[in-house]
A = this chain, B = another copy of it.
């Protein structure tokens, strides 16, 4: 494959001149430039990124560290990549396993650092041992942006799930639903807080379809349907923890001939592909995936020229209620 040297030979100038002509950073005679450019084109020159990075002691790749190939993650990554491309940065996805040992995670950290990326976009790691990542990056002077940590953190992009649920519950109330229940476990605090906030604002007592005991989300909703049937009076609105739970709930309700939304309205959370495919099409709280991708890219771009710039403020993006047929 053609290199600078080949072009130099072909156009009868030195390597340095070729470089200048190609990069346009120094003085080059017009004739010379044209000759060089043409030679480059004819030889099908493609700069060698490896050599370039080695010499410049920095790479032009952003490492995205993810722990699953979930569609929501991927949507964010796709936007991130689009946004980074104009800045001549390419994206490499490193996939860790969600259930990997601490050692595995350490290994992935090593691999990530070994690439000497221009920046790191880190999905919040399972186990939550985020400090090691952040510190290691800092040490190497690599900007690191954290995606969706559970709490407020510097250099992070979060999602306002609380507000999302809050708004959805208010929406249910506004549509005339008076007994609004929350379907989920008791561990996820943010969404639950949103529910509590809305309910207390409405002056109503919270109703729980508590599925803490069910570990499989795809079954949790069915279990909740049983709970629902035994209640009296029954809830007439349900905010679910996720679309998956909501759809499992729908299945359970259908089986007992409970009508949605006539008897009970259901709201999901996530807005995955499946939500619009559900029957009835699921009203749900959409995560701002594109917004996250953009925000992460912007933060990275902002810190990259000078990694000592500290982003002390993380940002928090709003969700969006997507109304479909289940409410």
Contacts and interface: CB of A to CB of B under 8 A. Distances in A.
A69 B59 contact: no
Interface stretch (A185-193, A196-204, A271-279, A314-322): A271-279
Contact of A92 (B51, B77, B92, B272): B92
A49 B115 contact: yes
Contacts of A75: 69
Interface in A1-25: 1
A32 interface: no
Contact of A78 (B69, B111, B115, B279): B69
A292 to B, nearest CB: 14
B244 A277 contact: yes
A90 interface: yes
Interface string A111-127: 10111100000000000
Contact of A95 (B54, B81, B276): B81
Interface stretch (A34-42, A247-255, A297-305): A247-255
Contacts of A54: 48, 50-51, 54
Nearest to A246: B277
A115 B92 CA distance: 12
Q: What is the size category of the interface that chain A forms with chain B?
A: 35 or more
Nearest to A61: B92
Interface in A56-94: 59, 69, 71, 74-75, 77-78, 81, 90-94
Contacts of A276: 218
Contact of A254 (B49, B90, B279): B279
A218 B274 CA distance: 11
Interface of A: 1, 46-51, 53-54, 59, 69, 71, 74-75, 77-78, 81, 90-95, 110-111, 113-116, 140, 218, 244, 247-248, 250-251, 254-255, 272-274, 276-281
14 contacts: A1-B140, A47-B114, A48-B114, A50-B50, A69-B71, A78-B95, A90-B94, A92-B93, A218-B277, A247-B277, A272-B273, A277-B278, A278-B278, A279-B279
Given A50-B59, A78-B95, 6 more contacts: A46-B114, A48-B114, A50-B53, A69-B74, A247-B278, A272-B273
